[in-house]
Amino acid sequence: MEQIDAGGSTTVAASTSEDSSLDPIARVRKLLFRQMLVGIKDGRFFLGSFHCIDKQGNIILQDTVEYRSIRRSSPSPTEQRCLGMILIPASCRTSCHVDCSIEEQLSLIQLKE
Amino acid sequence: MVKEPDREIALNCSGKCPAPDTINRQNPSIQGDLEEESSSIDQEPRSCGDNSVWAHVSPLLSAACSDLNEGELIHGDNFNLFAAMSALEIMDPKMDSGMVSTFYSIDEAIESGFAPVPISSDRTVDVQCIIDIMDHLLACEATWHMGHSLAQTVFSCIYVLRPERTSSHALLHSFCRVIRATCRALVSVVSDARTNEEEDLFTMTYGLPFNGDEDGKGLLLLNAVEETICRQLRACKATSSKRRVFEELEPLQTNPQLEEGFCKALLCRIRFRKHFLHALNCMRRPQGRGLELARKHIAYCIAELESVLSSVEFLSLETVENGKNEMEESTTGSGRHPIGFDPNLNKRLSAPTPPRAIKLLSWKKAIDYYVKLLHNLDQICAFKLEPDLDAVLQFVVQFQKSRPDLVARAHLQLLLVQDGKLYGRDTFLTICARSLALDVTKNHGLHLNEYILQLNQLMINLLKILCANTPWQRRKLGKILNDWSIFNVQMGITVGHMMQQVTTPRTPKNGDKSALILNHIYGWLEEQIHWVALRFLVLGFDLKLYSPSEYCMVYWYMYIILWKLAEKAHFRVLIIVHTEERKAKEEDYSRDMAREDRISLWVLLLKCQTSLAQGLTVMIAALRNEGMCSKSQGPFNTENEKFVQHFGLLQKASLPKYDAYESFSESTCHARLDYLPVYECFRDAQKMAKEIKVGYANDPDKLAEVVGLEQVAEHNIIAVNLLCQDRCLKVSFEFIHHPHFATAVLQEKWLWSQMGLVSQEPALFATSIKENILSGKKDATIDDVVEAAKASDAHTFISQLPNVYE
């Protein structure tokens, strides 16, 4: 069992070099409370603040807004509604994006390799 | 990191997330704001500042996930597992209402030709389909009335959702408009009356296109359509010589053999709609002015419903044999599935979670429902709107006997209470004074008296509660009893002071007169409190809240309340006679004999019921004391506790003022079968019932009730006689003759004395199941019987039998 000091997990401002040195869990921890955009299989998108993730990759978002297109054919206008707290199972998640600054983004990509 | 082993959703970690460009392909509306290779979606500029981008984090997440230990979570400080458990799970069909069903949206459904206008280019098929839609809408509407949401029922029809689309199709268009107008009328009635507290889905219209002002024109259009179809019907019936006249008229559809049948089927449906809306509109007129007209429309409605029913024969001719069962379940007269309905269209409107799937009433049941509704509405319209509180209360009680549904109850309530006045016409002060034959026309400033104002409010509340459904009504009545009794005590003190002041100086002033009136009203108030208490007790029988072992205490309490009520009502008769005689002397005032007689009859009825309740109390107590009837002692609570459970609310309102349980156990513990008063009570009741019967000769409802009371008394006298001779008889109490007063039913005991011998025989003996089980334990109650049956897994089987345990 891994114990990571969660001290100031909410601090957003983190330097690039620091970020890449951390392990993935610590980095994900830094993403908590940020706006996250999750796309799912049926074409809907959910925008909410990142609240929690488990080992299986299920994500919980808070204050979520659902965006969906009105028609199956594209392009089509979207409609939205508020959902509050939702759980997105990993099995239906197709994409996941986080709102961040350009520098941060670079660090995130670096880490991927 | 905190370890949370609880929340683990058994889902596999999805391996690699799709590359960024896949996302853009899937949803081109999201413009890729590409920086380098990463995908950054700029769909939400609001949340994404100038210097920020959407970074693709799926790989990071999956890396983190694989590093996580089993049962670990990544979360912030404010994480609360309990709150997280309430998160809606996306793609779970029971939680996620946004899941794509057949159609993405109503527009898409329309574009895909799900609800074409006209429905078919073949006009015969078109007419057929329209009739199906009409029938299905009727079933939807009835289901809505039974407490489901509009969005899932009537508004599951695309034609109703988008009426402007159908404007080229006069028949469909006008019909849908009228449906919408009807729904609107009903929603406004029910939400005004607020009887919907118990069925709160009824008035939910959020997100539905409910503001179309054009719906008002629906009736005009429908009239025009009706006229055309009438002519078409005449044309197809006309002989060839006359046919020329109609030649320019286009027939309804193309098949001349079916023309007459279709015309008739359409006409009765259209007319039903028309008259129903008219009736509702008439009933909403203030002060009940439209009731007479409404009654006519209701009569038409009932007649048209009959022709709708008889049109089935013609309509179901062509449908393939579906088997009888399916026809019974069908929501249309013809048995076909209607076009243009999808209950999932509005599911995103109702709540974040999808509503439960509902089962629509079948078409036949919907018609039955409408017949009942119309009869209930007719009952309301036939009410004479007398400014007499006794009449109103008795009417409401009578009305509630048929268990009317929400719509009818809402209409009654709106009729009774308008603008804080009875029928929007009479203030409660005048009503109250009238029932005491007092004159309040001269302004004593009474209507500003704080007690009168409070009384007004109490009366309004009472009437509203009486229009609620029975369980709700009983609960609320129990609660308002307390308000009434507090008010009663306060008023008693004030009136007492006033009367003292009045009696000392002997000068008749205006103030004295109002004090006198207040004093009378104070007495009348006590009568009303007892009436409410009685209603509370009686509703317990309607709701089957009392078990047979508790009948003794229930009848004892009813006896106490009835006795007091009869006494108060009797006082009132005296007051009325007194004041009216005085008036008659003074100014040749004609006495209102009819009303006086009515009240004295009512007093007699109350006395008759009092004796019956007393007789039953003594009889059951005697049986109990002699061990022929089980004592009300369960394993869980004592008799005293049961007493408090049932009558706690009454005791809180100090009805009666002494310790009720003590007095109950004292008065019943010495009862014996050979104790004379048992006969006396029943004989008195019988005698009084005979007298009352004459008085109620021209009121069938009342007469039936009195006959019931008489029979109860008669049968119980016989029962007591038999019991005195043969103490081995088995007694049970049934409501054969009257819904609230039980009749003793005797059974020979030898049956179950033999049972002991044959108990090993597997076949159930040819008597009741109750006795079969009772044979093992002689002092078992019905509750014990059910317990025993449950223990042996026979309960479910037994409850399906026609006579249950009997």
Looking at residue B804, its pLDDT comes to: 52
Number of domains present in the structure of chain B = 5
Q: Could you tell me the sign of the dihedral formed by the alpha carbons of B564, B565, B568, B573, in that order?
A: negative
Residue A3 lies in a domain: no
Asked if pLDDT for residue B243 goes beyond 60, the answer is no
Q: Is the pLDDT of residue B9 over 70?
A: no
In a domain, B311, yes or no: yes
> In this predicted structure, what is the pLDDT of residue B12?
33
In B, which residues are within 8 Å of A90 by CB distance? 11-14, 65
In B674-751, DSSP assigns E strands to 730-734, 743-747
CB B141 within 8 A of CB B272: no
The answer to whether the Cα torsion of B384, B389, B390, B396 is positive or negative is positive
Higher-scoring residue by pLDDT: B440, B9: B440
Whether residues A94 and B17 touch (CB distance < 8 A) is answered with: yes
- What's the rounded mean pLDDT across residues B1-27? 36
| CB–CB contact A87 B90 (8 Å) | yes
Q: Are residues B125 and B69 part of one domain?
A: no
Judged by CB atoms closer than 8 Å, whether chains meet at B41 and A37 is answered as yes
Closest CA to B631 of B752, B779, B446, B782: B779
Same structural domain for residues B615 and B640? Answer: yes
Q: Is the pLDDT of residue B46 over 70?
A: no
Q: Is B540 within the bounds of a domain?
A: no
Same domain? B319 vs B421: no
Chain B residues 53-112 with a CB less than 8 Å from chain A: 53-65, 67-77, 79, 83-84, 86-91, 98-100, 104-105, 107-108, 111
Confidence class for position B594, pLDDT limits 50, 70, 90: low
pLDDT-derived band at B175 (thresholds 50, 70, 90) equals very high
Contact A104 B43 (CB under 8 A): no
Interface of B with A in 21-40 (CB under 8 A): 22-23, 26-30, 35-40
Is A92 inside a domain boundary?
yes
In this structure, of A97-101, B432-436, B533-537, B693-697, the range with the lowest mean pLDDT score is: B432-436
Per mean pLDDT, which range of B133-147, B238-252, B532-546, B756-770 is the poorest? Answer: B756-770
> Looking at the predicted structure, is the pLDDT value of residue B477 above 80?
yes
- The overall average pLDDT reported for chain B is 79
For all residues of chain A together, what is the average pLDDT? 78
Mean pLDDT of B248-274: 86
| pLDDT tens readout for residues A27-62 | 899 889 999 999 998 888 999 999 999 999 999 999
Instruction: Check if the beta carbon of residue A61 is closer than 8 Å to that of residue A54.
Output: no
Whether B13 has a pLDDT exceeding 80, the answer reads no
Other beta carbons within 10 Å of B767: 17
Q: How confident is the model at residue B585, as a pLDDT?
A: 65
Across residues B628-634, what is the average pLDDT? Answer: 64
**CB contacts, 8 Å: A8 with chain B:** none
Partners of B105 on chain A (C-beta within 8 Å) are: 70-71, 79
Q: Which residues of B608-647 are buried (b: 16+ CB within 10 A; e: fewer)?
A: bbbbbbbbbbbbbbbbbbeebbbebebeeeebeebbeebb
Whole-number pLDDT of residue B248 = 66
Joined tokens for residue B540: 């317990």
Question: What is the pLDDT at residue B389?
Answer: 85
What is the spatial distance between Cα B312 and Cα B306, in angstroms, rounded to a whole number? 11
Amino acid B758: pLDDT: 36
Look at residue A4 and tell me if it is in a domain: no
The answer as to whether A60 is a domain residue is yes
Q: Is pLDDT above 60 for B104?
A: yes
The pLDDT value given to residue B117: 85
Looking at the complex, does the CB of residue A2 fall below 8 Å from at least one CB of chain B? yes
Structure tokens at B272: 């039903």
Among the partner residues B36, B55, B100, nearest to A42 by beta-carbon distance: B100
* Residue of chain B minimizing CA distance to A97: B56
What residues in A contact B73, CB-CB < 8 Å? 52-55
Are the Cβ atoms of A58 and B58 closer than 8 angstroms? Answer: no
- B75 against B517, higher pLDDT: B75
Residue B83 domain boundaries? 1-87
Which residues of A fall within a CB distance of 8 Å from B56?
Answer: 95-97, 108-109
Q: Which of B365-379, B757-771, B782-796 has the lowest mean pLDDT?
A: B757-771
Q: Among residues 321-360 of chain B, which lie with CB inside 8 Å of chain A?
A: 348, 352
pLDDT on residue B590: 52
Lowest mean pLDDT among B27-36, B333-342, B501-510, B741-750: B27-36
Residues of B in contact with A111 (CB under 8 A): 60, 63
What residue in A sits closest to B351 (Cα-Cα)? Answer: A83
* Structure-model confidence comparison of residues B573 and B41, the more confident one: B573
The answer to whether residues B140 and B201 belong to one domain is yes
For residues B562 and B659, membership in a common domain is answered with yes
- pLDDT value of residue B277: 94
pLDDT at B39: 35
As given in the structure block, the two tokens for residue B449 are 């008296």
Contact status, residue B37 vs residue A113, Cβ threshold 8 Å? no
Shortest distance between the Cα of A17 and any Cα of chain B, in A, equals 16
Task: Give the residue numbers spanning the domain of A57.
Answer: 16-112
Rounded Cα distance, A55 and B176, in Å: 53
Choose, out of B29, B57, B72, the residue to mutate when testing the contact with A (most A CBs < 10 Å).
Answer: B57
> B747 or B620, which is more confident?
B620
C-alpha closest to that of B331 among B370, B306, B365, B373: B365
- Of the pLDDT bands very low, low, confident and very high (cuts 50, 70, 90), residue B548 is confident
Contact call for residues B232 and B197 (beta carbons, < 8 A): no
A91 close to B (CB below 8 A): yes
Give the pLDDT of residue B509: 53
Q: Which of B20, B26, B72 sits opposite A43 (nearest CB)?
A: B26
* Residues B188 and B332 placed together within one structural domain of the fold: yes
Q: How far is A102 from B51, CA to CA, in rounded Å? A: 7
| Overall average pLDDT of the B617-637 stretch | 77
Per-residue pLDDT of B299-331, as tens digits, reads 999 999 999 999 888 888 766 555 666 677 888
Same domain membership, residue B588 and residue B700: yes
Lowest mean pLDDT among A5-9, B87-91, B705-709: A5-9
What was the ipTM of the complex prediction? 0.81
B735 and B757 co-located in one domain: no
Task: Give me the number of domains chain A comprises.
Answer: 1
Residue numbers in B near A60 (CB within 8 A): 84, 87
Q: Is B782 part of any domain?
A: yes
Residues B680 and B726 in one domain: yes
Here the contacts of B797-802 (C-beta below 8 Å, separation 24 or greater) are B798/B769, B801/B769
Would you call B3 an interface residue with chain A, using a CB distance cutoff of 8 Å? yes
Interface contact flag, B41 A97, Cβ < 8 Å: yes
Model confidence at B47: pLDDT above 50: no
Residue B109: closest CA among chain A residues belongs to which residue?
Answer: A71
Residue B346 has pLDDT above 60, yes or no: yes
Q: Tokens representing B663?
A: 């007095």
CB < 8 Å to B39, chain A = 95, 97
B796: phi > 0 → left, psi -120 to 50 → alpha, else beta; which? Answer: alpha
pLDDT exceeds cutoff 80 at B441: no
H/E stretch holding A37 reads strand A35-40
Looking at the domain assignment, is residue B3 inside a domain? yes
pLDDT at residue A7, as a whole number: 39
Coil/strand/helix, residue A45: strand
Is residue B46 packed enough to be buried (19+ CB in 10 Å), middle (13-18) or exposed (0-12)? exposed
Question: Omega before A24 cis (within 30°)?
Answer: no
Is B109 contained in some domain? no
- Looking at per-residue confidence, does B755 or B309 come out higher? B309
**pLDDT at residue B778, as a whole number:** 47
B731 and B752 in a single domain? The answer is: no
| Model confidence, pTM | 0.78
CATH number at residue A101: 2.30.30.100
Cβ contacts of A27 on chain B, cutoff 8 Å: 60, 64
Q: Are residues B586 and B689 in the same domain?
A: yes
Note the pLDDT of residue B512.
65
Contact of A33 with chain B, judged by CB distance below 8 Å, is answered with: yes
pLDDT at B494 over 80: yes
B514 in a structural domain: no
In a domain, A81, yes or no: yes
Tokens for B279?
A: 């009736």
Examine the domain organization and report whether B180 and B283 are in the same domain. yes
Q: Is the separation of the CB atoms in B665 and B553 below 8 Å?
A: no
CA distance A51 to A34: 9
Secondary structure of chain B: what % helix, strand, coil (to 5)?
60, 5, 35
